[in-house]
């Protein structure tokens, strides 16, 4: 994962120091000496992260941060404010300006890399979301940008594992302002609680009196159901060994005790946002997958999917020596619907027909829109007689169903013609099966429509 980081500081020595640290971890570094240069470099390079010094002449870090966050093209780039340790109020001011995180000078390497990694990960997820959003727009699908810019994470579920009663109370009070917090004081209940709680982030103290917090964290991490739940641990400032171990284990972030409550709010928010982005990404992926295989009008599978699936189904049936049948149906005189009532009504009719097809199909069968007013149903493990019965039932149902043509309750009658073909055990293929069903459909049309025709060529015994 190569990420580009923009380092902004008015003191050249600071820039050089950060540049060297980041380069040693293989980050690609660009630099700016003040706020103005930072904004122009951000526009030019679109970095993955900005490390922004607070105290700078001309335009300070807060103003620079606010300007970048106000720019639609740049607002998604994470900004880490670099503040002096003593200036706690700076942190809040930075957050007000829209900063995503902060680190304090003198810069601790572990802290720097933990935060940089975490934010770069979020940025990459966000880039992916933005890219998919772009594709969706190009495909004519409604933009999801409104949903991708997750800034409000209130109501998220937080679990705290801490046996320090005083600290626990304070943390719970503070987090409860924004989140649903559960607090476990008995470490041996922590893993069970974590498993069932559907949490968005879990905070664990490594200073428990009777348990190993890191071990708990590792047990939670290794549970499949909780792999994506971010973990944040509290560690002793004087024990850098634990910090390193925690980060090596894949803990997402850490804080030193006594826990600074404002800092905790930022870190918790960052972790929740990352989890939410991942979830959005996953659900968008599933949605785009389903869009790629679904017919937009009817919700049935599309022709592309049908072709792929038919090939697999035929192979499987031949391999296992099973029956398989295919029906292809076409609405009779559909053109007259479009000509008489318009295409909107035509679409309404097709949707109703698709609903009937789904209702009449078994769950093992696959229904697809083949094109225009043509539909195909693949019927695995279906012998020729059963296929014929199913086709006749389908034809009856369509004939008996009044099709709505408006909201006033006006209806028209429609019929369908169906061609069916059965898979032959010797040398048959998806293409020839489909072709034979199509020929049967043509026969049904020629013979006067509203009927089912069987393609008898290559039909198995008993047909």
Q: Residues near 99 by Cβ (< 8 Å), separated by ≥ 6?
A: 52, 65, 79, 80, 81
CB nearer to Mg ion: give 101 or 133: 101
Q: Is 149 in the site for Mg ion (CB under 5 A)?
A: no
Q: Is 55 in the site for Mg ion (CB under 5 A)?
A: yes
Q: Is 17 in the site for Mg ion (CB under 5 A)?
A: no
Name the residue with tokens 């393609």. Answer: 455
Size of the residue set binding Mg ion (CB under 5 A): 3
Contact between residue 208 and residue 167 where contact means Cβ atoms under 8 Å apart? no
CB nearer to Mg ion: give 91 or 451: 91
Q: Which of 19, 48, 53, 365 binds Mg ion (CB under 5 A)?
A: 53
Q: For residues 422 and 323, what is the distance between their CA atoms, to the nearest angstrom?
A: 7
Min CB(56)–Mg ion separation in Å: 5
Residue 416 preceded by cis peptide, ω within 30: no
Q: Is 34 in the site for Mg ion (CB under 5 A)?
A: no
Min CB(294)–Mg ion separation in Å: 55
Q: For residues 131 and 118, what is the distance between their CA atoms, to the nearest angstrom?
A: 20
Min CB(29)–Mg ion separation in Å: 17
CB nearer to Mg ion: give 53 or 164: 53
- Which part of the chain contacts Mg ion (CB under 5 A), choosing from 48-56, 151-159, 287-295, 370-378? 48-56
x/- letters, 124..143, toward Mg ion (CB under 5 A): --------------------
Min CB(39)–Mg ion separation in Å: 16
CB nearer to Mg ion: give 53 or 101: 53
CB atoms within 10 A of CB 130: 15
Q: 144, 185, 373, 431: which is the annotated catalytic residue? A: 373
CB nearer to Mg ion: give 61 or 168: 61
Min CB(191)–Mg ion separation in Å: 45
CB nearer to Mg ion: give 35 or 187: 35
Min CB(100)–Mg ion separation in Å: 19
CB nearer to Mg ion: give 1 or 13: 13
Dihedral, CA atoms, 355, 360, 362, 365, nearest 10 degrees? -70
- Which part of the chain contacts Mg ion (CB under 5 A), choosing from 49-57, 273-281, 388-396, 442-450? 49-57
Q: Is 373 a catalytic residue?
A: yes
Q: Is 59 in the site for Mg ion (CB under 5 A)?
A: no
- Taking CB atoms, the residue at the shortest distance from Mg ion is 55
Q: Which of 4, 10, 150, 256 binds Mg ion (CB under 5 A)?
A: 10
Decide: residue 281, CB within 10 A, 0-12 exposed, 13-18 middle, 19+ buried: middle
- Which part of the chain contacts Mg ion (CB under 5 A), choosing from 50-58, 94-102, 400-408, 451-459? 50-58
Q: Is 163 in the site for Mg ion (CB under 5 A)?
A: no
Min CB(33)–Mg ion separation in Å: 10
- Which part of the chain contacts Mg ion (CB under 5 A), choosing from 8-16, 66-74, 358-366, 446-454? 8-16
Strand 28-32 versus strand 49-53 pairing type: unpaired
- Which part of the chain contacts Mg ion (CB under 5 A), choosing from 6-14, 74-82, 150-158, 258-266? 6-14
CA quadruple 238, 18, 63, 175: dihedral sign:
negative
CA quadruple 304, 306, 307, 311: dihedral sign:
positive
CB nearer to Mg ion: give 21 or 130: 21
x/- letters, 324..363, toward Mg ion (CB under 5 A): ----------------------------------------
Min CB(23)–Mg ion separation in Å: 21
Q: Which two tokens stand for residue 358?
A: 């789904």
Which are the catalytic amino acids? Answer: 373
| Binding region for Mg ion (CB under 5 A) | 10, 53, 55
């Amino acid at each position: 994962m190569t990420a580009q980081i923009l380092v902004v500081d008015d003191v050249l020595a600071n820039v050089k120091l950060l540049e060297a640290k980041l380069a040693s971890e293989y980050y690609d570094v660009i630099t700016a000496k003040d706020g103005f240069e930072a904004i122009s470099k951000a526009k030019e390079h679109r970095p993955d992260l900005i490390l922004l010094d607070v105290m700078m002449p001309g335009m300070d870090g807060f103003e620079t941060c606010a300007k970048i966050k106000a720019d639609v093209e740049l607002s998604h780039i994470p900004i880490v404010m670099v503040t002096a340790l003593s200036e706690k109020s700076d942190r809040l001011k930075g957050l007000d300006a829209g900063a995503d995180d902060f680190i304090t000078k003198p810069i601790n390497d572990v802290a720097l890399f933990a935060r940089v990694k975490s934010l770069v990960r979020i940025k990459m997820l966000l880039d992916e979301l933005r890219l998919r959003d772009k594709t969706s727009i190009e495909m004519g699908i409604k933009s999801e940008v409104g949903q991708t810019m997750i800034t409000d994470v209130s109501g998220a579920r937080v679990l705290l594992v801490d046996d320090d009663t005083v600290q626990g109370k304070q943390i719970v009070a503070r987090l409860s302002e924004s989140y649903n917090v559960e607090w476990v004081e008995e470490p041996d209940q922590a893993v069970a609680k974590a498993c069932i709680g559907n949490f968005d982030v879990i905070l664990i103290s490594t200073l428990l009196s009777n348990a190993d917090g890191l071990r708990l964290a590792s047990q939670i991490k290794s549970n499949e159901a909780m792999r994506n739940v971010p973990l944040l641990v509290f560690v002793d400032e004087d024990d850098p060994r634990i910090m390193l171990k925690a980060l090596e284990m894949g803990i997402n972030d850490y804080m030193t005790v006594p826990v600074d409550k404002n800092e905790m709010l930022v870190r918790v928010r960052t972790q929740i946002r990352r989890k939410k982005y991942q979830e959005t990404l996953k659900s968008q992926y599933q949605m785009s997958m389903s869009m790629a295989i679904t017919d937009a009008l009817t919700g049935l599978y599309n022709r592309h999917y049908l072709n792929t699936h038919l090939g697999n189904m035929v192979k499987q049936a031949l391999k296992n020596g099973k029956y398989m049948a295919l029906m292809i149906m076409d609405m009779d005189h559909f053109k007259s619907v479009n000509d008489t009532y318009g295409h909107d009504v035509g679409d309404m009719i097709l949707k109703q027909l698709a609903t009937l097809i789904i209702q009449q199909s078994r769950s093992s069968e696959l229904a697809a829109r083949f094109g225009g007013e043509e539909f195909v149903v693949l019927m695995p493990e279906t012998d020729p007689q059963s296929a014929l019965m199913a086709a006749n039932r389908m034809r009856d149902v369509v004939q008996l169903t009044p099709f709505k043509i408006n909201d006033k309750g006006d209806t028209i009658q429609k019929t369908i013609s169906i061609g069916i073909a059965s898979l032959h055990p010797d040398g048959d293929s998806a293409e020839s099966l489909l072709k034979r069903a199509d020929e049967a459909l043509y026969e049904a049309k020629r013979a006067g429509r509203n009927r089912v025709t069987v393609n008898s060529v290559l039909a198995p015994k008993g047909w």
